[in-house]
Chain A
Amino acid sequence: MAGKRPYIPIAVGVLGAALVGLLVYGIATQAPSRSLDEALRHGTHPPAPSADQMLPRLSGGGSTSLAAYRGKVVVLNFWASWCEPCQEEAPKLERAQQQLQRHNGTVLGVTYLDVTPDSLSFVKRYHLTYPNLRDTSGEFTHSYGTDQLPESFVIDRNGHVVAISRGEIDEAFLNRAVSLAERS
């Protein structure tokens, strides 16, 4: 028994514990962040994440960022052409756009995990007039805690998130954005 080395089982144990820890960490970090939702629940309006990140325009012709829309009320909508609820809400968003643009506001679409030709067909089919950007890396989308589509965020003129809709939007959500644009 004196010849046995205790450090070998200890080392194997530490290694096993480290792997389990890594697994737990991975599961915890892969889950979508809900920090924006938490902030709104506590009555604060957090700054819109990744506002300076440049994203290519869906229609081509360079890139822009959310920060370029500072001063406008923005309904930031994440969508993809293959997503059925996105198809349902597209006409509602276009109607909201008609109202928002009269009060210095806009809907800003961001396509996620969608191919450009399909996205362009979608824009044409639903006669969407609001600007659309592409998030090919998914970094911008993930910074909003979005991993399912559609999701929408109302951002005030100062670039703060004031409302969140995780799932298909309803008229009340859009009316809130329009009234914010009218008020401010």
Chain B
Amino acid sequence: MSATRRTMMAVVALALALSPMLPSAQAGAATPRTNTAAPHTTTATPRTTLLAIEHQVMCVTCKIPLNVAESPQSTRERVYIRGLIAEGQTEAQIKNSLVAQYGPSVLDLPGTKGFDLAAYLVPAAVVLALLALLVLLLPSWRRHARTRASTGVDVPKLSADDAARLDADLAHFD
């Protein structure tokens, strides 16, 4: 009997000792429910903003960046982007979705066909032309520089005193 009583007392003591931990234990029990509920929430965590996307894409009807466009189509484009942001899509995913809807012209990049190719070819051609100009001019510049060096046109002559002083100064370093 006394053994039973001792056991009961031990259980009560253990319960009392554990009682301060009870609220946190309840909180711990609640946490998994919250976590389980999380996927069912309607709003995903935004991974980007309209501001971040707007200046990277075009208003496809006005042919200007979306962040400065004010047309009915640009308004719908913004609504569509907001929807994708609310779904928790990343910048890259949103751009892909926009290309799927509006075509590649929605991206703030020149196309790779027809006249749009000029956007890539002209800068390359200008660089090549400048290089060609450099190749043409460089020998004559070097020749000119050599001529000036050999004739010593731009090198001032030292006076006898200065030459003597220079020699004396240099002698200190020997």
Interface residues of A (CB under 8 A from B): 5, 7-8, 11, 15, 19, 22, 25-26, 29-30, 80-84, 113-118, 136-138
Interface residues on B, range: 20 to 34
With A8-B136, A82-B73, A82-B76 in contact, do A116 and B101 touch (Cβ < 8 Å)? yes
Contacts A/B (CB < 8 Å), 6 sampled: A5-B136, A25-B115, A83-B73, A113-B60, A138-B103, A138-B105
Q: Which of B94-145 contact A (CB under 8 A)?
A: 100-105, 114-115, 118, 122, 126, 129, 133, 136-137, 140
Bound state CA distance, A15 and B130, in angstroms? 11
A138 to B104, CA, bound (A): 10
Give the complex CA separation of A50 and B77 in angstroms: 27
Q: Determine how close the nearest CB of chain B comes to the CB of A61; give it in whole angstroms.
A: 17
A11 to B125, CA, bound (A): 13
Once the chains are docked, how many angstroms separate the CA of A114 from the CA of B98? 10
B115–A113 CB distance below 8 A: no
Complex-state Cα separation, A22 to B119, whole angstroms: 11
B-side contacts of A11, CB under 8 Å: 129, 133
Give A134's nearest chain B residue, CB to CB.
B101
Identify the B interface with A (CB < 8 A): 60-61, 72-73, 75-77, 80, 100-105, 114-115, 118, 122, 126, 129, 133, 136-137, 140
The 8 Å CB contact of B100, one of A81, A136, A138, is A136
Further contacts, 9 of them, CB under 8 A, given A11-B133, A25-B115, A136-B103: A5-B136, A22-B122, A80-B73, A82-B72, A82-B76, A83-B72, A114-B73, A118-B80, A137-B104
Cβ-defined partner of B61 (8 Å) among A84, A113, A118:
A113
Residue of B nearest to A26 (CB): B115
Number of A-B contacts (CB under 8 A): 52
Return chain A residues, CB-CB under 8 Å to B104: 137
* Whole-angstrom CA separation of A29 from B101 in the bound complex: 25
Rounded to whole angstroms, the CA-CA distance of A113 and B101 in the bound complex is 7
Please indicate the chain A residues that have their CB under 8 angstroms from the CB of B103 in the complex.
136-138
Q: Cβ of B72 and Cβ of A84 under 8 Å apart?
A: yes
CA of A22 to CA of B117 in the docked complex: distance in angstroms? 11
Q: Are A26 and B101 interface neighbours, CB within 8 A?
A: no
Q: Which residue in A5, A117, A136 is a CB contact (below 8 Å) of B102?
A: A136
What is the CB-to-nearest-CB distance from A141 to chain B, in angstroms, rounded to a whole number? 10
Expressed in whole angstroms, the minimum distance between the Cβ of A77 and any Cβ of chain B is 17
| Cβ–Cβ contact A15 & B129, under 8 A | yes
Tell me the smallest distance from the CB of B130 to a CB of chain A, in Å. 10
Contact B72 A113 (CB under 8 A): no
Question: How far apart sit A26 and B116, CA to CA, in the bound complex (Å)?
Answer: 9
Chain A neighbourhood of B105, CB < 8 A: 138
Q: Would A113 and B133 count as touching, CB distance under 8 A?
A: no
Partner of B101, one of A19, A83, A115: A115
Compute how far the CA of A7 lies from the CA of B114 in the bound complex, rounded to whole angstroms.
Answer: 31
Report yes or no: A8 in contact with B133, Cβ–Cβ below 8 A: yes
Which of B73, B77, B126 has the most A CB atoms < 10 Å from its CB? B73
Q: How far is the CA of A29 from the CA of B116 in the complex (A)?
A: 11
